[in-house]
């Protein structure tokens, strides 16, 4: 370029010098290229480093949440305590609350200690009671109420231990920190070690993390993602069912049928802007329209799904239009040339060719919606939910039962005091990331599978 | 190949298939076609020649209303097919295009099998009642397009896998499968090598027995080889129209002479 401007009227000076020696200009150009490559490599290195740090920190913090410490004990279920009437009448038996079941567990632990010859100085009765998770009596009660024939027998049962004891085996709690901690005593840790030596206590894979509902502040060991996963699943179904057909229909109309005028330009600009609207704004909108105006129930997956649909629509419309645009016009001409109508040419030829792009866009939109937190906070999906939401119920309709969602559960857990919840929040992030990776893998697979060259 | 062989045929006895009267085409504010009058004969090859941008393709696309797909394009004047105004509001452009087929500059087979490419037109127009009839149409169309022998063993393989010349003949087969009365060809050979071009030209000459063929071409030799009638367009005007032999040997207009002798273009 600059060579050309150097050409004066006095003709260009003859180039002299050997090809084997680089002249100054060539050196400068090569140096510039080398610098640019270095910038690129540096940028990629920073990106990869950030990813590695993110993944290692999350895996380091969160992987342990998939393991949980359990105590295996023989538990006596005396009829005198659980069913005084002896009729095995459920209504009567339900009157015995978890408070009635807790002593059975403490007694069982004491019996196991005696049987294995474990004696620890300074171990109080409270230490023994608190050694077992507060969730365990409820687990036991549910088991007995489900099968009343167990009353009067002695059953072997795997029960959860207190989160602090679990933390001891995950490195969160040490003998020194236990001295300062009012929730756990060094004697409990000694007991744990003794039980572990006796083969009763073990830290193993915990499917409950994926299936159990959330638990209160006092029992992090029992908290799981069951409700959150269900809620997220319901919302994804709502988003897919609403956003895909609406988004694709809107894009096809705008791209193929709509006249190009001021109005369609305006719509186009607004769709692009909508994609950039902060998600919390959609939350306010959902609160105002779906809950306050339409009267849908707060915390319901249907409301979350509707809000996320509004958020996902622009993404789907933009990617679908891009996919439609990338279909060569010669295909449309060919179809019209043999006498296909506009709609036939779109549905028979253009849409199949655009399908991989549309699917990819949809799945990326869904993945975005899956990870969205802010709007869900505003429509009450941050609530503490213990009951598994049903997909349909008479009272609440389709996807109308209160639920929570994966990213909100992460947010929720990070707010709690017990460090065990921080571990579980990281674990939930791993689950979320696995889902996202899975969806992206599906997107890539579909693209490869359906992509056609022309 | 390059010899200026003039096809001498008596075409005076044939009827007019398409009549265009005072056709004007505007792209926005640009006046692309200015007052064109032309009669296209039945069972004849008519060639449109002229320098780039002279409007010959635009005019061709008016004949089956492909210009409808361009928002800013407006067509005025009257074009009739067998005496019926094709720009009449009652005319559905889809029905028109079934009668007036089109082959494009770049071979554009659908990314489907060879069979489906040819069968698509008859299918959407409901020309067949069963699979056997459809098979028959596909075979006869491919035969007419001189492609049958090359593809009969791989009808289910993708049409996009054929060579350029085969693809273009496939597009011709696809166009004639809907049994059109007029076949419009927009520079059908510009993307083909000389051998494929020769095959397509031979094919065009054979198609003349059944269809009225209108071909836009950049190559004057091609116009001379395949057509009986030639129209010369220049800057949106139809400068001269007549028998191919006359246009190339005794042009009346100085612009035509300049073009065919290579002084403008």
- Domain coverage including residue B113: 16-260
- Burial (0-12, 13-18, 19+ Cβ within 10 Å), B191: middle
| Nearest-10 Cα torsion for B132, B133, B136, B137 | -140
Whether B239 maps to a domain, the answer reads yes
- Token match 């056609």: residue? A452
Provide DSSP, A31-44.
HHHHHHHHHHHHHH
pLDDT score for B264? 67
Cβ of B103 within 8 Å of Cβ of A337? The answer is: yes
Cβ of B104 within 8 Å of Cβ of A331? The answer is: no
Contacts of B162 in chain A (CB under 8 A): none
Cβ of A337 within 8 Å of Cβ of B124? The answer is: no
Residues A286 and A311: beta-carbon distance below 8 Å: no
Which of A196, A152, A314 is closest to A247 using CA atoms?
A314
Contacts of B121 in chain A (CB under 8 A): 338-340
Cβ of A334 within 8 Å of Cβ of B104? The answer is: yes
Sign of the Cα pseudo-torsion (A147, A152, A158, A159, in order): positive
Cβ of A260 within 8 Å of Cβ of B109? The answer is: no
Reduce the DSSP state of residue A196 to 3 states and report it: helix
What's A25's DSSP letter?
A: H
Residues A161 and A106: beta-carbon distance below 8 Å: no
Using the Cβ of A9 and the Cβ atoms of chain B, whether some distance falls under 8 Å is answered with no
Whether B6 maps to a domain, the answer reads no
Residues B103 and B168: beta-carbon distance below 8 Å: yes
Residues A234 and A301: beta-carbon distance below 8 Å: yes
Whether B250 maps to a domain, the answer reads yes
Contacts of B125 in chain A (CB under 8 A): 339
Cβ of B110 within 8 Å of Cβ of A333? The answer is: no
Structure tokens at B88: 């009449």
Say what the pTM is. Answer: 0.82
Whether B110 maps to a domain, the answer reads yes
pLDDT score for B5? 54
* Region A188-215 average pLDDT: 90
What's A14's DSSP letter?
A: P
Contacts of B175 in chain A (CB under 8 A): 337-338
Q: Is the predicted pLDDT of residue A402 greater than 90, yes or no?
A: no
Cβ of B121 within 8 Å of Cβ of A336? The answer is: no
- Closest-approach residue (CA) in chain B for A257: B69
For A429, residues 6+ apart whose C-beta sits below 8 A from its C-beta are: A58, A62, A410
Model pLDDT for residues A20-63, shown as the tens digit of each residue: 888 889 999 999 999 999 999 999 999 999 999 999 999 998 99
- Token match 């036939």: residue? A344
Contacts of B69 in chain A (CB under 8 A): 332-333, 336
Contacts of A453 in chain B (CB under 8 A): 111, 160
Cβ of A334 within 8 Å of Cβ of B171? The answer is: yes
**How many angstroms separate the CA of residue B241 from the nearest CA in chain A?**
26
Structure tokens at B257: 């002479």
- What is the Cα–Cα distance from A110 to A75, expressed in whole angstroms? 11
Cβ of A339 within 8 Å of Cβ of B178? The answer is: yes
- What is the Cα–Cα distance from B253 to B50, expressed in whole angstroms? 13
Model pLDDT for residues A410-452, shown as the tens digit of each residue: 999 999 988 899 999 999 999 999 999 999 898 888 888 877 6
Which stretches in chain B have pLDDT values below 50? 1-3
Question: Which positions 162-181 of A are in contact with B (Cβ < 8 Å)?
Answer: none
Which of A95, A206, A198 is closest to A144 using CA atoms?
A95
Reduce the DSSP state of residue B234 to 3 states and report it: strand
pLDDT score for B12? 53
Nearest to A334 among B69, B71, B110 (CB): B110
- What is the Cα–Cα distance from A454 to B3, expressed in whole angstroms? 36
Which of A234, A243, A444, A233 is closest to A362 using CA atoms?
A243
pLDDT score for A2? 45
pLDDT score for B2? 44
**How many angstroms separate the CA of residue A454 from the nearest CA in chain B?**
6
Cβ of B108 within 8 Å of Cβ of A340? The answer is: no
pLDDT score for A454? 45
Give which of A338, A342, A352 to mutate to test B binding, by max B Cβ within 10 Å.
A338
Cβ of B175 within 8 Å of Cβ of A341? The answer is: no
> Radius of gyration of chain A from Cα atoms?
32
pLDDT score for A290? 92
Model pLDDT for residues A254-294, shown as the tens digit of each residue: 998 888 889 999 999 999 999 889 999 999 999 999 999 99
Using the Cβ of A330 and the Cβ atoms of chain B, whether some distance falls under 8 Å is answered with yes
Using the Cβ of B87 and the Cβ atoms of chain A, whether some distance falls under 8 Å is answered with no
Contacts of B171 in chain A (CB under 8 A): 334
- Closest-approach residue (CA) in chain A for B72: A260
* Region A151-160 average pLDDT: 88
Nearest to A341 among B94, B101, B174 (CB): B94
∠ Cα A109 A115 A118 (to 5°)? 75
Residues A172 and A423: beta-carbon distance below 8 Å: yes
Structure tokens at A233: 């699943």
∠ Cα A124 A129 A135 (to 5°)? 160
- What is the Cα–Cα distance from A167 to A160, expressed in whole angstroms? 12
Domains contained in chain B, number = 1
Confidence of residue A1 (pLDDT cuts 50, 70, 90): very low
Q: Is the predicted pLDDT of residue A7 greater than 50, yes or no?
A: no
* Region A195-221 average pLDDT: 89
Using the Cβ of B27 and the Cβ atoms of chain A, whether some distance falls under 8 Å is answered with no
Q: What is the percentage of chain A residues whose pLDDT exceeds 70?
A: 96
Residues A76 and A440: beta-carbon distance below 8 Å: no
Contacts of A328 in chain B (CB under 8 A): 108
Structure tokens at A373: 């937190």
Which of A68, A207, A187 is closest to A130 using CA atoms?
A187
**How many angstroms separate the CA of residue B6 from the nearest CA in chain A?**
31
Residues B249 and B83: beta-carbon distance below 8 Å: no
pLDDT score for B128? 85
Using the Cβ of A453 and the Cβ atoms of chain B, whether some distance falls under 8 Å is answered with yes
Using the Cβ of A326 and the Cβ atoms of chain B, whether some distance falls under 8 Å is answered with no
Give the helix/strand (H/E) hosting A53.
helix A24-62
For A41, residues 6+ apart whose C-beta sits below 8 A from its C-beta are: none
Confidence of residue A9 (pLDDT cuts 50, 70, 90): low
Reduce the DSSP state of residue B139 to 3 states and report it: helix
Whether B32 maps to a domain, the answer reads yes
Ordered structural domains, chain A, with CATH = 67-206 (no CATH), 226-450 (1.10.3720.10)
- B197: domain CATH number is 3.40.50.300
The counts of H helices and E strands in chain B are: 10, 10
Model pLDDT for residues A53-108, shown as the tens digit of each residue: 999 999 998 999 999 999 999 988 888 888 887 788 888 888 888 888 888 999 99
- What is the Cα–Cα distance from A183 to A188, expressed in whole angstroms? 10
pLDDT score for B1? 41
- Token match 């004057």: residue? B220
Nearest to B111 among A337, A341, A452 (CB): A452
Confidence of residue A11 (pLDDT cuts 50, 70, 90): low
Question: Which positions 94-123 of A are in contact with B (Cβ < 8 Å)?
Answer: none
| Phi, psi angles (nearest 5°) of residue A419 | -60, -20
Using the Cβ of A334 and the Cβ atoms of chain B, whether some distance falls under 8 Å is answered with yes
CA distances from A81 to A99, A160, A328 (A): 11, 22, 79
Contacts of B60 in chain A (CB under 8 A): none
| Phi, psi angles (nearest 5°) of residue A59 | -65, -40
**How many angstroms separate the CA of residue A336 from the nearest CA in chain B?**
7
Model pLDDT for residues A346-381, shown as the tens digit of each residue: 999 999 899 988 998 999 899 999 999 999 999 988
CA distances from B77 to A23, A132, B219 (A): 67, 93, 29
The mean predicted confidence, pLDDT, of chain A is: 88
∠ Cα A190 A193 A195 (to 5°)? 110
Whether B202 maps to a domain, the answer reads yes
Which of B177, B229, B160, B167 is closest to B200 using CA atoms?
B167
Structure tokens at B223: 């116009």
Structure tokens at A309: 């649909």
Residues A296 and A290: beta-carbon distance below 8 Å: yes
Which of B180, B199, B26 is closest to B107 using CA atoms?
B199
Give the Cβ contact number of residue B182 at 10 Å: 22
* Region A166-193 average pLDDT: 88
Cβ of A338 within 8 Å of Cβ of B103? The answer is: no
Cβ of B95 within 8 Å of Cβ of A344? The answer is: no
Using the Cβ of A454 and the Cβ atoms of chain B, whether some distance falls under 8 Å is answered with yes
């Amino acid at each position: 370029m600059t060579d050309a401007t150097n050409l004066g009227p006095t003709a260009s000076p003859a180039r002299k010098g050997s090809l084997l020696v680089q002249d100054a200009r060539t050196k400068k150009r090569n140096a510039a290229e080398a610098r640019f490559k270095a910038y690129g490599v540096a940028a990629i290195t920073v990106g990869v480093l950030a990813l590695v740090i993110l993944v290692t920190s999350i895996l380091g913090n969160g992987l342990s949440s998939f393991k949980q410490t359990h105590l295996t004990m023989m538990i006596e279920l005396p009829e005198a305590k659980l069913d005084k009437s002896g009729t095995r009448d459920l209504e009567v038996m339900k009157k015995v609350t978890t408070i009635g079941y807790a002593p059975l567990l403490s007694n069982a632990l004491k019996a196991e200690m005696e049987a294995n010859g474990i004696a620890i100085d300074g171990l109080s009765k409270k230490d023994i009671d608190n050694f077992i998770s507060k969730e365990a009596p409820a687990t036991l009660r549910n088991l007995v109420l489900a099968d009343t024939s167990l009353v009067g027998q002695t059953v072997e049962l795997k029960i959860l231990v207190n989160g602090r004891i679990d933390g001891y085996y995950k490195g969160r709690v040490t003998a020194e920190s236990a001295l300062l901690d009012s929730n756990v005593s060094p004697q409990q840790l000694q007991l744990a070690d003794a039980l572990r030596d006796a083969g009763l206590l073990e830290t193993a894979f915990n499917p409950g993390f994926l299936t159990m509902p959330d638990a209160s502040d006092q029992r992090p060991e029992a908290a799981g993602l069951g409700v959150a996963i269900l809620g997220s699943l319901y919302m994804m179904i709502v988003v897919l069912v609403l956003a895909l057909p609406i988004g694709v229909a809107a894009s096809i109309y705008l791209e193929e049928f709509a006249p190009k005028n001021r109005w369609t330009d305006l719509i186009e600009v607004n769709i692009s802007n909508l994609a950039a609207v902060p998600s919390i704004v959609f939350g306010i909108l959902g609160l105002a329209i779906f809950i306050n105006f339409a009267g849908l129930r707060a915390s319901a997956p249907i409301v979350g799904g509707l809000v996320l649909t509004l958020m996902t629509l622009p993404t789907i419309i933009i990617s679908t239009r891009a996919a439609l645009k990338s279909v060569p016009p010669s295909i449309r001409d060919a179809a019209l040339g043999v006498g296909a109508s506009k709609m036939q040419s779109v549905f028979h030829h253009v849409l199949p060719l655009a399908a991989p792009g549309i699917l990819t866009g949809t799945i990326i939109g869904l993945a975005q919606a899956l990870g969205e937190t802010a709007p869900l906070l505003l429509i009450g999906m941050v609530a503490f939910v213990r009951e598994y939401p049903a997909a349909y119920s008479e009272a609440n309709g389709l996807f109308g039962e209160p639920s929570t969602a994966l990213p909100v559960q992460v947010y929720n857990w990070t707010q709690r005091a017990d460090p065990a919840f921080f571990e579980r929040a990281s674990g939930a992030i791993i689950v979320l990331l696995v889902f996202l990776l899975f969806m992206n893998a599906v997107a890539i697979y579909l693209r490869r599978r359906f992509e056609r060259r022309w | 190949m390059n010899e200026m062989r003039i096809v001498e045929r008596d075409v005076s006895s044939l009827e007019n298939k398409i009549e265009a009267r005072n056709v004007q085409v505007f792209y926005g504010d640009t006046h692309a076609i200015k007052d064109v009058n032309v009669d296209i004969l039945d069972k004849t090859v008519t060639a449109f020649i002229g320098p780039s941008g002279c409007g010959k393709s635009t005019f061709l696309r008016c004949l089956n209303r492909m210009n409808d797909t361009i928002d800013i394009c407006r067509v005025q004047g009257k074009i009739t097919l067998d005496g019926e105004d094709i720009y009449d509001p009652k005319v559905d452009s889809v029905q028109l295009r079934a009668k007036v087929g089109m082959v494009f500059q770049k071979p554009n087979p659908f990314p489907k099998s060879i069979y489906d490419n040819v069968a698509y037109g008859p299918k959407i127009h409901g020309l067949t009642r069963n699979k056997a009839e459809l098979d028959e149409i596909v075979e006869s169309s491919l035969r007419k397009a001189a492609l049958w022998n090359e593809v009969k063993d791989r009808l289910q393989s993708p049409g996009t896998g054929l060579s350029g010349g085969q693809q273009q003949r496939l597009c011709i087969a696809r166009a004639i499968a809907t049994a059109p009365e007029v076949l419009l060809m927009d520079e059908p050979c510009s993307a083909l090598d000389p051998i494929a071009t020769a095959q397509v030209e031979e094919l065009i000459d054979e198609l003349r027995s059944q269809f009225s063929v209108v071909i836009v071409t950049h190559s004057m030799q091609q116009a001379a080889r395949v057509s009986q009638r030639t129209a010369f367009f220049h800057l949106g005007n139809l400068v001269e129209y007549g028998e191919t032999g006359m246009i190339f040997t005794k042009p009346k207009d100085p612009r035509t002479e300049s073009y065919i002798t290579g002084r403008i273009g």
